[in-house]
Structure 1
Amino acid sequence: MEKIFAEQFEALLEKYSDLLVGESSEQTKEKVKVWALYTHIAKSMPALAKHWNELYPEAKEEMREMINEIKLLNEQYRESR
């Protein structure tokens, strides 16, 4: 991946995170990135997501917590606007 593209994509992720939850710290951006990718995988290849969930139940629980955190942050951000 070219450096310029990586920087431009990072800017996109930063803006998306800011618009989604009202902040774009490195930790929040990483959570948003994982959440977005997992959500896409679960929708486009549900059997793969199910297999992963069964293979790694602890990670599944951590993902569930992350999804709930993103959802809560999004709701709080929308209410504050």
Structure 2
Amino acid sequence: MATTTLGVKLDSRTHNRLKTAAQSLDRTPHWFMKIAIRELIEKVESGSKIECIIDEELLPDDTLRHSVAIRNRRENF
């Protein structure tokens, strides 16, 4: 199976939380991230919408920063 390396930028607080959570399961942060990504992909593939994935109060800010549609509109103007 071919693999691709991806980078994920995390602030120091999130990085420390990741390390602590992974250690509590006797796993590496890499393992933890792979499992988290797979689980999120499965949720989306089973029909979950963005509102089911993140807190709805955070949705307006997240959409402004991370929405592909909004990013594409900005690039075309």
Same fold (TM over 0.5): no
Where relative contact order (Cα < 8 A, 6+ residues apart) is larger, the structure is 1
Larger radius of gyration: 2
Judging by fraction of residues, say which structure has more helix: 1
Provide the TM-score with structure 2 as the length reference.
Answer: 0.40
